[in-house]
Amino acid sequence: MAKRVFISYRREDTAPVARLVYDRLWRVLSKANVFFDVSTIAGGEDFQSKIASGIGKSDATLVLIGEGWLKESPTRKIRIWEENDYVRSEVREALARPLLLLPILVSGASMPKPEQLPEDIRAITMKSALPLRHESFEDDVENILSAILGVGTRKRNWEKQTTIWSCIFHTIGGIAAALAFLLIVALMHFWLLDRPLSASIGVPMTVLTAIATAVVGGWFGLSRARRQ
């Protein structure tokens, strides 16, 4: 059974890094199993209820902590102390559930001291954290994935960006598109010269052209799948 992961982060602090982590995780766990607010919450949906539901359905919550995680609000109050701070709500919700809560220290950030946090989320400081550094990003994400899955990954699965089914579908699509193009050429030939293409180039050459067109189309489709 695939693991479900919730990514908690402060946008002003670690948004670009959170996006990169999401990009790696969904390639291994699938998009449906990784909750990332900008990709999961649709316009018009209730943010708080969607967050609570997302954490409730998750097996693990990653809390990305950067240098600005304890950022002050415009009122000069540290935001994590505000009752309606969404990061505080996410951590509180995760701590209340029997799931893996994994603090991720981004770019050399330190774990906050207990006295720096409200009492309802202070327990996060007792959780073992993992680093996420620019100079060892791929290795660090691999360690995070290993912690989520409870096993050593041995390889970076997100680097295998295509599945066999994706390759098959793209190859078939490429063949279909190429043959459709050849059909259009044949129809134009018939319309202009009032005779089928086979009458102009011969049946064997027509068959060979169709085969070559299908091969080229399939190759382009497969190449497209590998580039995604």
In this predicted model, what pLDDT tens digit does every residue of 127-155 receive, in sequence order? Answer: 999 999 999 999 999 999 999 988 655 55
Burial code of 1-19, b = ≥16 C-beta within 10 A, e = fewer? Answer: eebbbbbbbbeebbeebbe
119 or 195, higher pLDDT:
119
Q: Which residue range(s) make up the domain with 190?
A: 164-227
Alpha helices in the chain, H assignment, sequence order:
11-29, 37-40, 47-56, 86-95, 137-149, 164-193, 197-201, 203-227
Q: Give the mean pLDDT of 182-204.
A: 87
Last residue of a domain, one of 134, 159, 184: 159
pLDDT at residue 196, as a whole number: 87
> Which structure tokens are listed for 62?
């990653």
pTM above 0.85, yes or no: no
> Residue 79 above 80 pLDDT?
yes
Q: Each residue of 107-131: pLDDT tens digit?
A: 999 999 999 999 999 999 999 999 9
- pLDDT value of residue 38: 58
Residues 103 and 168 in one domain: no
Q: How many CB atoms lie within 10 A of CB 196?
A: 14
**pLDDT, average across residues 47-51:** 74
pLDDT at 12 over 70: yes
**Same domain? 40 vs 16:** yes
In which band, very low, low, confident or very high, does the pLDDT at 198 lie, cut at 50, 70 and 90?
A: confident
Q: Tell me what pLDDT residue 155 has.
A: 54
155 and 169 within one domain: no
Q: Are residues 103 and 205 in the same domain?
A: no
Q: DSSP assignment, residue 108?
A: T
What is the rounded CA–CA span in Å between residue 6 and residue 18? 11
CA of 213: how far to CAs of 65, 171, 175, 207, in Å? Answer: 53, 13, 8, 10
3-state secondary structure 21-33: HHHHHHHHHCHHH
Are 152 and 218 members of one domain?
no
Among 112, 136, 159, residue at a domain's last position:
159
Same domain, yes or no: 42 and 72: yes
Please tell me the distance from the alpha carbon of residue 47 to that of residue 51, in angstroms, as a whole number: 6
What is the total count of domains within the chain? 2
Q: What is the pLDDT of residue 59?
A: 95
In this predicted model, which residue has the larger pLDDT, 76 or 16? 16
* pLDDT averaged over every residue in the chain: 85
CATH number at residue 65: 3.40.50.10140
CA distance 122 to 91: 9
Of 159, 190, 206, the residue that ends a domain is 159
Both 115 and 21 in one domain: the answer is yes
Are 64 and 83 members of one domain? yes
Instruction: Reply yes or no on whether the pLDDT at 75 is more than 90.
Output: no
CA dihedral 154, 158, 161, 162 (to 10 degrees): 60
